[in-house]
Amino acid sequence: MSISGQPDESGQGFDALTGAGTGAPEGPSPQAPPPGIRTLGPHSASATTIVLVRHGEAVCNVSGMCGGPIGCEGLTDRGRAQVDVLRARLWETGELAGADALYASILPRAVETAGILAPALAGIGPDGVRTDPPQIVEECGFCELHPGEADGLNWSDFSARFGNPDWDTDPGRVIAPGGESWTGFVNRVADTLDTVAARHPGELVVVACHAGVVEASLLAKTPVVDGLVGARMQLRTQHASLTTWEVDGSRWKLIGYNDGAHHLGSDGVGGSAEGVTSSGRGWMSVGTGERIG
């Protein structure tokens, strides 16, 4: 269609200029728009792909506990089922097969998530034999916000001891003595992402981490005003969902956020709150969200 709404015989109207196609993935086009006005950029063979996987539902999520190294007791049965559903998807699609590296935060809920997913990250060698999956590398830089002296407290006891910090108005306030502020947390995640991207040029990296890490990545790596020093985005990243980045040099490109399509039709294991698949279609799942995951 032309801008006037009449058919464009060339087939290269505004949709073509913005990079829109007729399917997914995009099919071949006889004529590409000029690079300077094309919305959809080409994939670079030298780019690193980093896939952030939020852990499944954790014991501390449902018990109302501040889940640092002391308070985290791993996944619930429902959380393991959520990650199992994701692993089944990855087995079927092979979309993360042959991953070059697998990271996890040091918290048990993330390490357990990585262990469940690992078999689906194995590749196929030149002889057709399945290779071993990457070994899990535990990295504290991918931990949820460090709680300091709040670790292991339930939220009532936390409030009684440390008050109720409001990171939307004061993101520089630490959660508790020995812990991090929201600003410090976002900057720590940003530095960790940069380090890992530089360590794995052109490779596929999978990271089992936390909702806060996913949000921090968006604040740090997308052009959000005051992203590294401002307040939270208050996103609703669901359990066992995928958020994918493509990193080419210093440029970070968001490929997909909160992809939980694998939970559709899986009774009793859906992630919390509202999810959005990589296609951009929204859907609702049943569950209870929480601020710190």
In a domain, 6, yes or no: no
In a domain, 28, yes or no: no
In a domain, 66, yes or no: yes
What tens digit of pLDDT does each residue of 141-186 get? Answer: 999 999 999 999 999 999 999 999 899 899 999 999 999 999 999 9
The answer, as to whether pTM is greater than 0.75, is: yes
DSSP code per residue over 187-248:
HHHHHHHHHHHHHSTT-EEEEEE-HHHHHHHHHHHS--TTTTTS------PPTT-EEEEEEE
Give the three-class secondary structure for 111. Answer: helix
Query: For residue 95, what is the domain's CATH number?
Result: 3.40.50.1240
Q: Given the DSSP bridges, would you call strands 204-209 and 101-104 parallel, antiparallel or unpaired?
A: parallel
Looking at residue 290, its pLDDT comes to 39
Gap between the Cα atoms of 260 and 244, Å rounded: 12
Looking at residue 215, its pLDDT comes to 94
116-120, 226-230, 255-259: segment of lowest average pLDDT: 226-230
Looking at residue 77, its pLDDT comes to 97
In a domain, 221, yes or no: yes
pLDDT above 60 (res 90): yes
Only one residue has tokens 């919390």, namely 272
In a domain, 198, yes or no: yes
In a domain, 5, yes or no: no
User: Domain range for residue 175?
Assistant: 48-284
Residue 39 pLDDT grade (very low, low, confident, very high; cuts 50, 70, 90): low
167 Cα distance to chain centroid:
21
In a domain, 239, yes or no: yes
Looking at residue 30, its pLDDT comes to 64
What tens digit of pLDDT does each residue of 40-53 get? Answer: 666 677 899 999 99
In a domain, 35, yes or no: no
Query: How many separate domains does the chain show?
Result: 1
Gap between the Cα atoms of 153 and 65, Å rounded: 6
Give the three-class secondary structure for 48. Answer: strand
